[in-house]
Chains A and B, each alone.
Chain A
Amino acid sequence: MRPRTRFSPSLAALMSAAAALIPEAQAQTATGAESDAHVSYRYNDYSEDAQPAPYGGDPERYHVLSQQFQLATHVGADAALDVSATHEVMSGSSPWYVLPGPGQPIQIMSGATIRDHRNEVRASFTQGTGSSGGTTYSASYSAERDYHATAVGIERSMPLSPALTLGFGGSFSHDLIDPTDAQIYHRVDHEQKNSASLFGSLAFIIDRATVLQTGLQLNSEHGYLSDPYKEAYVGDDILPERRPGRRDQAAWLVRYRHAFSGPDAALHLDYRYAQDSWGVTSHTIESAWYQTLPARWELVPALRYYSQQQARFYAPYFLDPGAHNVYSSDYRLGTFGAFSASLNVRKRVGSWQFSGGLERYHSATGYALGGSDAAVPAVVSYTRLFIGLDYLLQ
């Protein structure tokens, strides 16, 4: 047992004074509220690799240009407001359905180039940003030509002890789906889905340089959960895909942060295990190294690995039409794994912060844990570039 440290009254008073110098909101950074006042802008250029052969249609896949704006500010002494907006412009073709081929399946892409845009606004208000915890109320609205989503959420952060913080909350989303060219391609005309989510988390201060958080999220979706633009080869027909009308998901997450004094850096390790009632299970591991450099530069290399096992009703095509009442050939429900690597750099100049980065994401069926039996010809690989600008308001 370590001997108990005894402080003289004068030393204790000095330590108390030093503690008072640490702003309360910052002292809570690793355990609860994370707020500072700033205005931010991000520009992202996301580009998917072309669809490899064999394919039909246009092989040029999605290209998305995104702009994000954010204002985060304090409201009074013990509240914070965060407002953000996103504008995206999408173009390119999308995987449509898969045909049996002589040697390997043939991925058919959407013939006409898709052009669309998406606008999203989010707002959150946090009451209580100090050591006593806080409550955050949030709302968002996302609009596309064929998809509208409205979501509200609430979450509470509550310290249980000086080293332990409880977090919990929930959200609800109502989505409307109005596919384009519904009559031409025999798509659904107007559908909707509802999603409800609950989460709980615990954050621990392990020591003066280490924090750990673990949490559980439960999510339930009801309604039209198919993708109206995906079809499947069933027997000799090409039919709109058909997924179950309900999906229950559970995800367990762990986040670890450790600060190093020697290299003046911080290590981030994240893990997530997720599974759902469709049979999809996945493991996600992420790591990032936040290296502080002289002259207020910062370098952040990061790695991510993702592996998922397919939904029970996934196959590239279905030769026996009578054997399935739900079916999908959407590559996102197949078995695959993905590696991604990114490098971000930041530079502070006064109250300004400039940032930029590059991410390369590569997926393949062979990367999946345990391998794969069914082909997934449309697994996606992409490159993402971003630049950012922040102005700190305090």
Chain B
Amino acid sequence: MHRDVRFLAGLALLALLCGCATTAVQPWERGRLARWDMRWDPDPLQSAMGNHTHFSKEGSSGEIGAAGGGCGCN
């Protein structure tokens, strides 16, 4: 398990290094990034329902953000 966590951490670090190649985007150039459809999660309610369903019916879970509580869903 510890070796696997190190592997995942290495992948995350690799992604960080890739990110160093980004180009500077000025605030006035972020119009498209500010759009609703560019959000990480444009419809949080709908995502919550989808995640809840997948959490109930699949063996794995995990998302970026604080995890919620469980349920007795079966």
Say yes or no: is A58 at the interface (Cβ < 8 Å to chain B). Answer: no
Say yes or no: is A18 at the interface (Cβ < 8 Å to chain B). Answer: yes
Flag B6-22 by CB within 8 Å of A: 1 or 0 each. 00110110011001001
For B32, list chain A residues within 8 Å (CB): 208-209, 259, 261
For A310, list chain B residues within 8 Å (CB): 59
- Main SS of chain A's interface residues? strand
Of B29, B35, B44, B58, most buried by chain A (CB within 10 Å of CB) is B58
**Least Cβ distance of B60 to chain A in Å?**
4
The answer to whether A213 and B64 touch (CB under 8 A), given A26-B34, A250-B8, is yes
Q: Which of A98-106, A145-153, A232-240, A317-325 contacts B (4 or more CB under 8 A)?
A: A145-153
For B25, list chain A residues within 8 Å (CB): 162-163, 205, 207-208
The tally of residues in A whose CB lies under 8 Å from a CB in B reads: 120
Contact B64 A311 (CB under 8 A): no
Say yes or no: is A87 at the interface (Cβ < 8 Å to chain B). Answer: no
Partner of B15, one of A70, A169, A202: A202
**Least Cβ distance of B2 to chain A in Å?**
10
The answer to whether A68 and B49 touch (CB under 8 A), given A29-B33, A30-B34, A164-B19, is yes
Flag A269-301 by CB within 8 Å of B: 1 or 0 each. 000111111001110100000101000001000
For B50, list chain A residues within 8 Å (CB): 359
**Least Cβ distance of A302 to chain B in Å?**
10
**Residue in chain A with minimal CB distance to B14:** A214
Interface residues of A in 205-245 (CB under 8 A from B): 205-209, 211-219, 227, 229-230
Partner of B61, one of A204, A214, A274: A274
Contact B19 A202 (CB under 8 A): yes
Apart from the given pairs A19-B27, A30-B38, A40-B45, 10 other A-B contacts in the complex at a CB distance below 8 Å: A19-B26, A30-B33, A70-B45, A153-B66, A167-B64, A171-B67, A212-B15, A259-B32, A306-B54, A357-B46
